Each structure stands twice: as C-alpha cells, then as structure tokens.
Structure 1
Amino acid sequence: MKPSGKDVDPQDRAFGQRVQRARKECGRTQADLAASLGKTSSWLSQVERGVQPVQRMDLLQQIADELGVPVRQLRPGIAADGASQPPTAQSLSNDLDETRRLLSGHPALQTVLAGEDDTGPTRTLALLQNDVDDLWDLTHAGQLAQVSTLAVQLLPELERTVRADPGEHESELYLLLSRAYQALSAAFVRQDEADAAWVAADRAVLAAERSGDPLHVCASVFRMVQAFVRLRSLGQAEHAAQTAISALGEQSTQTPESLSVLGSLHLALALVRARASARPEAKEEIAKARAIAAQLGENRNDFNLEFGPVNVEIQAVSTAVDLGDAGEALDIGLTIDAAALSPERRGRLLMDLGRAHAQRRHGGEALRCLLDAEAVAPEMIQTHQAARAAIRELVLVAGPNASRELLELAERADALD
C-alpha cells in the first residue's frame, strides 16, 4: 500500500521534486521519461510526488543518466559507489550555501518591478503548505542539504505568489512565508551561520505581522534571539526576548499555543543569562519555564518550538553545563526520556551530557555520549562550537592515549583546527 500524502517521507518528496525539475529542464514529458526507464507514467508521477520511494542504486543511476545529471544532484549524500557518505564539518558547512546566497538579495525583485508574476501558474495553497511542512520536517531531522534544495525552489515561489495575486489567501500565504523563514533561521542557527539566521528571522517577523498572526511574530522573535546568542550579541538577545515576554504576559487570557511561545522565550532568556554567567537569573528563567510547562501538562510542538516538560529539562541540562554545574546537568539529564522528540532535541541532550561528562573528566562516558549524539544529529556535533570544544578538550586530556574513536571524531568535527 502506497503512503498517503500526509505519510510521504520528506526526503522522498524532495527527491521527487528534484527529478521533476530536472525532467522539465531537459524538456521531457512524464510519459517519455517513464517509457525510457521501462516504467509507466503513473509510476513516475508517484516518484515525483514522493509517494513511490526509489532506493535501488541501479535505478537511481538510470534516472540520472536519462536526465543527464549526476546521481548526487538527485540524491545528495550518495557516493559514486552508492554508499551514503558520512558528513564532515566541511561538507555540512556547504549545505546551506545556496540558500544563504538566496537571502543575500531581494527574493522576488522581478515580480516587484513587473507588478505581476510572469513565471507561470502558481501552485495551490495546499501544495505550498505541504512543502513548508516538509521544510520543517527536514530541519528537525537535520537533513540540511535537502532543506537547501527545497528552500531555493520554495521561497521565491512564495515571495512571488504573495506579491502577484494573493487573492483571498493573502494572510495564509504570508503565514506560510513566515514559517518557511523560521525554518531557515533554525537551520542556519544549527550550522552556526548566525548572520544568515538573523536575516531569515527578521523576514519571518515581517511576514508574520502581515499575516495578522501575533503569536507567529513572537515565535519569529524566538528565532531571532537564537541568532543573537550565536552572534554573541547578548544584549540584543536579552532585549528581544524580554520585549516579547512582556507583551505576551500582558494578554488577559493564555491559550496552549501562547503558553508554548511564552515558555520557549523564557528558555531562550535562560540561555542568554547562562552565556552571561548570570547563574541566579538563568535558574529563575528555567523555573518560570517549568511552571508554564506544568500548566500545559504535555509536550507540544506549536510553531515547531517543541515546548513542554521534557524540553524544559533538556534546556535545564544545557543551562547547567553552560554554568559549569556538570553534576546537576547529569542528575537532570539521566532522568529524561526524549525518545518522542525530534533528532535535534535528542542530539542536543546527548551532546550536553557529553559536555557534562567532559567537565567531570569522565572521558569514556563523554565520548560515548558524543558519538551517540553524532549518530542522531551529526551536523550538531560537527558545527556546534561547544561540542567541538568538548571534543578538543577530551583529546588534549587523553594526550598520546587518545583512542582511535576519539581521534576520528575529532577529525570529522575539525575539532583540532
């Protein structure tokens, strides 16, 4: 039984879109390409919609040959022999380069100048919604090459559509645009591309305001706070978080969605306080977030913030490590069951437990946690400065007795440069 549209794997959907784009660029119809592959038009249609996965290397190579493109253009991460290549810090740093260039200019200048979208018919709101959902799924999964591939196609289309002829869907289109920019900001933060994350978050704020959804404005501010922290602009991060917290706190009634945003902003402010070595203030923000999570009583994913009791404790671990309280971090972290959360959240917990063990000079336990984190979210270990610092410290402490596993991890993360 083929998966429904809601069950389509985001990676299969992204692959199908790359096949469709390459087919159109070389001027071939579905019927023509399907016939050359010995398949039916229906089969190829399912591939391009992501409903029919393509896993066999020989078939991948056949499709690529027919389209005149390398296999890796259709499926990034595939080596010449068909094996998935383990990512390195250098390869990860290039994942979002094309999207970064896209943010460097106006996303729909031709439409602004012409006053209309002359690039062809726009897709339905439902299809654009699916793509934005996929963009977030790929971001949470750490599939940043696929994030870039989808974003480079999707963002200009959204920008053109909302300017050209939005009709009765203007608010919905601006909301989709804000969500797409929020996803990009989160992805750039994870790759330590803080300046690009700031630009994306700023565009998300503006689009959310035009959509008329104030909670999405606040969620976009959360993304901006994360960017400011990575830029080490703690004063700006504090101001942005505190302003949003104050505005939300003045609301007469609180919904679960508004509580999710408010709690997430308190966690962001706790991070700011911890980075400023303000211990009492950081713990106060964690306590406020805990109270909000208890009021919610469940783990939620409003605005892709993954806020709830478990996420608060994950952030409490991170805050404790930043403050040098390794024992407290381990006491909290070892009681957390994060199995239901995204790879990013699970990877973050494992990374911080590795950092805590490293602070306590538990070399073996630290390495095991960091390797487990790499298996879950490789880009986090290989781009996060704190993780790389912990790996570097483990190598220095071990000296000539450093294990092969540790040295190989350090090489993958470029932690010794």
Structure 2
Amino acid sequence: MLEEAEEIGRRVRRARLRLGKTQADLAAALGRTQGWVSKMERGLIELDRVGLLNLVASELHVHPNDLIGRPYNSSPAENQWQVSAAAIMRELRRYDLAPVFDGTPRPARQLWQETTRLHRLRDAAANVAIMQVLPDLFREARALAEVSTGHEREEAYAIYAVCCKFAHTAAHALGHPELIAMACERAAWSARLSGDPVMPAVADWMRVWDMWATADWDDAMALSDKAIRSVQQEYDHGDPLAIRAWGSLQLRAAVSAARAGRRAEVRDRIRHAWDASARVTQYAGPPVYDRHSLTFSQGNVQIHAISVALEMHEQGRALGMNGRVQPHVIEALPNSRRGHYHMDIARAWLWDGNRDKALKELETAERIAPQLIRNHPIARSTLRSIVYAERATTREKLRRMSDRFHLDG
C-alpha cells in the first residue's frame, strides 16, 4: 500500500518533467508550496481529495487514472470485467449501423423490466455484474429502435440512454476512461431521440461528472445550470422525475462549487437540493418508476452535504453533520451510496486524528460495497494514511522503549 503512494508520486514527477515544469511551477499552479510538491512526489503526502487529484492531473495534462494507476492490478478473475467493457465499447462504436441481433426484439415495456435488474445491481455497487448484463441489452434496445416507430421507437432510445448511464457509472467505479467518454456521448445522442423531456438533462448530469476529471469546475457549474433550466418547467409543475433530476443536478453543482472553493455557492446549492428532496418526500400521486436511476432523496442530500464539506477540508463540520444524521436515513440508501458515505466519514475521522474510528468506518464501507471501495482512490488513500501513521507510531514507541532499555549503550 505504501509503495502505491510512492509510485503515484513518481508518476506525478514523470508527468511534470515531460512538460518541462519545475516543482515551483507546479506548486504555483496548485496554490501550494514547492516543499508540498516535493513531498507529494516522494509519496509522503496523499492526494486525498478527488478535487485535488483531478486538479493535479489537469495541470499535468493527464487523466487522473494515469496518476493513480487505475484500473488497479488485480487477479485475472477480477479483471474479467474488461472483456465486458470491450463488448460494450463495440456496441457503442457501431451505434449508427444496422444492429446485429438475431430474432425479434422484445417490446419496450419488457426491456424496461430488464433495467430493474440493473437498478438492483447499481444499488448493490455490483459494477462488474452491470458490465456483464449491458452488451446484450444495448444490442436489443438498438434493434428495437431500428424496427419500431413512434412512441415505441422513442422508448427504445430511452432504454439505450439509460444503459449508457449504467455503463458510465460502472466505468467510473472500475476505472475505464475511454468507456466513460463514449457512454456519455452516446447517452446525449440517444437522449435527444428518446422523446423523454428529462433524459437530455440526465445526459448532462453525466457530462458534469466527466468535467470534474479535468478540473473544469466553472464549466461543470454552467452545464448543471443549463440542464436545470431544461427541466425547470416540469419541476415547477411537480413532475416527480423532473424533481429528482433537478435536485440531482443541484448536488452536482454543489460538488463543483466545493472543489472551486465557493462556500456560499455550496450552501445555496445544498439548500436547493433540500427543497427538491422535500418535494420528493411530499409526493402523494401514483407510484413512479425512477427510470433515470438517479436515486435522489433526503438521505442523498445529507451525505452530499458531508462530502462537499470534506472537499473544502472542513472535517469538523462534516463530523458535526454526521452526528445529527438519523441512522434510518442512511440505512434507506442503496449500498453504493452508503459505501461512499462511510468512506467519507472514515476520511473525516482520519483528518480529525482518530485512526481507530477511521478504520472502523472504512471496514464498514468495504463490507457494504466491496467492489466500490476497493477500487476507489480515496478509500485506498485513506487506508494508506492509516497504515503509515500506525507504522510511524509503532516506530516511535519502539524508539522510546529502546532508549529506556539503553539498547544503543
């Protein structure tokens, strides 16, 4: 684990030298000292916030995955998801060609039922299984669009767009930047053909996530606002799917603002998201199928409020908010979101100086969503920091005891 931190530092150094930048140049661009950059390149300082990792990568004109070595080295069995990813890429590349599909595609209502399985897998953070399901569903949705007309054809493209969203989420979790980019592009294409007034905003929600990789915080906020405006009328009229999209986009904007250091903007965006979550809770109409799979709720707003506090290095505030969180609100969240939440609380306790609580939270996160946590750079950074601090403490205890025993005498 500690060697991984050193290797990240070496990758940063190689990328910096390739551009002819000095440590002082990089430090100035990051708003840090030359000494900080030197320690980071020696693996002594962790890139322990996504915003910081993305900013360093952006200044070095590389993808964040290039710095952290993601996808991570694992066993051949654990790497089989890349076979599925290649099959998905193949389907996305041939999006405008005649689909290769034997037989007659099922109607849209049956394909929507297939997406409920993807929802369950996403909630469980089973991203490898999502990858395995998607190639066949992409093919069948595209085949349905080819042979149908009218509303049925629009629904086929809506299913294709939602499949792009699932591919996008899984690719982010596992670390496949090429699939991330292509899934986002195809989502925008199919969303425009879907006839779903909210789907283009969902595609923009995906694009915002991708803008974070290049630390384009202002563009990410501008795109969030564009998407918010596109569903504003439906939001005002109380459409439940538009409310979920509107609130989710406010959370996207809050994260962007936090990484840009705009505290007042963060508070405004979180407040708007709270308002939207209250409208979701108050909804009293017929059951609504969350076809866009945005899982927006009051619990989601709470854990985002904690996350953005940590992005601004306000761990005391994050722990204070955590102390007021009602456990049942967190328990109601899907495993994917609960895993993120416990990972964030682990980081907050670590920064607050309590390694025991940090490790306990990290263990909880891994137990809830093992695939997600083991592949997440922040979880790995947190664990490395705990291991390093424990080793340093043990060395110091041994040194003091050695002095008392006069072992050097």
User: What TM-score, normalized to structure 1?
Assistant: 0.68
Aligned with 2:294 (options 305, 309, 315): 305
In 2, Cα distance between equivalents of 1:400 and 1:313: 35
User: What displacement does 1:200 show?
Assistant: 1.1
In 1, Cα distance between equivalents of 2:187 and 2:117: 17
The answer on 1:255 being equivalent to 2:239 is yes
In 2, Cα distance between equivalents of 1:281 and 1:314: 17
Alignment of 1:314-353 (within 5 A): 314-334=303-323, 335-337=325-327, 338-353=330-345
Q: Tell me, yes or no, if the aligned pair for 2:205 and 2:249 is still in contact at 8 Å.
A: yes
Q: Alignment identity in percent?
A: 24
Alignment of 1:135-284 (within 5 A): 135-165=118-148, 169-249=152-232, 253-284=237-268
In 2, Cα distance between equivalents of 1:110 and 1:308: 34
Which residue of 2 is the match for residue 13 of structure 1? none
Query: Is there any run of 5+ residues in structure 2 with no aligned partner, and where?
Result: 1-71, 396-409
Which residue of 2 is the match for residue 125 of structure 1? 108
User: Deviations 1:93-112 (Å, cap 9, x if unpaired)?
Assistant: 73542343234445484983
Secondary structure at 2:106 match in 1: coil
Q: Tell me, yes or no, if the aligned pair for 1:174 and 1:207 is still in contact at 8 Å.
A: yes
Aligned with 1:363 (options 343, 355, 363): 355
User: What displacement does 1:327 show?
Assistant: 1.3
In 1, Cα distance between equivalents of 2:346 and 2:131: 29
User: What displacement does 1:354 show?
Assistant: 0.4
Query: Is there any run of 5+ residues in structure 1 with no aligned partner, and where?
Result: 1-87, 404-417
In 2, Cα distance between equivalents of 1:378 and 1:368: 14
User: What displacement does 1:266 show?
Assistant: 0.6
Q: Tell me, yes or no, if the aligned pair for 1:222 and 1:265 is still in contact at 8 Å.
A: yes
Alignment of 1:32-47 (within 5 A): none
User: What displacement does 1:195 show?
Assistant: 4.2
Residue 171 and residue 110 in structure 1: after superposition, are their counterparts in 2 closer, same or farther (change >3 A)? closer
User: What TM-score, normalized to structure 2?
Assistant: 0.69
Task: Using the TM superposition, name which of 303-312 and 361-370 deviates more.
Answer: 303-312
Per chain length, whose mean CA-contact separation is higher, i.e. which structure has more relative contact order (CA < 8 Å, sep 6+)? 2
Which residue of 1 is the match for residue 43 of structure 2? none
In 2, Cα distance between equivalents of 1:166 and 1:199: 26
Residue 196 and residue 238 in structure 1: after superposition, are their counterparts in 2 closer, same or farther (change >3 A)? farther
1:322 counterpart letter in structure 2? E
Task: Using the TM superposition, name which of 273-282 and 159-168 deviates more.
Answer: 159-168
1:274 counterpart letter in structure 2? A
In 1, Cα distance between equivalents of 2:300 and 2:140: 34
In 1, Cα distance between equivalents of 2:111 and 2:338: 29
In 2, Cα distance between equivalents of 1:116 and 1:397: 55
The answer on 1:389 being equivalent to 2:381 is yes
In 1, Cα distance between equivalents of 2:79 and 2:99: 33
Please tell me the root mean square deviation across aligned C-alpha atoms, in Å: 2.8
Which residue of 2 is the match for residue 399 of structure 1? 391
User: What displacement does 1:198 show?
Assistant: 3.0
Q: Tell me, yes or no, if the aligned pair for 2:101 and 2:143 is still in contact at 8 Å.
A: no
In 1, Cα distance between equivalents of 2:223 and 2:262: 18
Task: Using the TM superposition, name which of 291-300 and 197-206 deviates more.
Answer: 291-300
Q: How many residues align?
A: 314
User: What displacement does 1:116 show?
Assistant: 7.2
In 2, Cα distance between equivalents of 1:189 and 1:230: 10
